[in-house]
Amino acid sequence: MNRKWLVAIVDDEVDIVNLFRESLGTIKGISVFAFTDPLAALEHFMINKNAYILIISDLRMPVLCGIELIKKIKRENPLVRTLLMTAFDVDDSLFDEYTKMEVINDFLQKPIRLNDLHVKVKKHLNIYRKNLKNRSKKER
């Protein structure tokens, strides 16, 4: 089956979501959606939760912060990979706590080089596919 997986980029900065969407759109097998409103991203995810493979979210956004967005997404589909990005210093203990709880799968420090973004995205796409394959083997 030749399936298109969904990837969401969520950041309140229009330039970032547009740049990342355009850049990641070159990766085969995925469709990239860009959101500047975390509530719109959550709504789109809820409608398509079984098609999503990766969420890339900024930490600080109005209305709903990135960690809260990711928590809501992980409750609905724990297999979805999550990358949290920020330009601010992050308390390592907080990040470690959410990583251990498997809420956040990885972290990107802004400014982000597009090559680094591609490396992380491809890494997590491969992990997702592997986890999905292992899950389907267990269900047999």
The CATH number of residue 31's host domain is 3.40.50.2300
In this prediction, residues 48-57 reach a mean pLDDT of 96
Q: Which residues of 65-74 are buried (b: 16+ CB within 10 A; e: fewer)?
A: bbbebbeebb
Q: What is the pLDDT of residues 111-129, one digit of tens each?
A: 999 999 999 999 999 999 8
In this prediction, residues 72-77 reach a mean pLDDT of 95
For residues 113 and 101, which has the higher predicted lDDT (pLDDT)?
113
Flag whether pLDDT at 51 surpasses 60: yes
State the residue range of the domain holding 121: 5-139
Q: Whole-prediction pTM value?
A: 0.90
What the block records as the tokens of 110 is 């802004």
**Per-residue pLDDT, 138:** 73
Count up the domains in the chain and report the number: 1
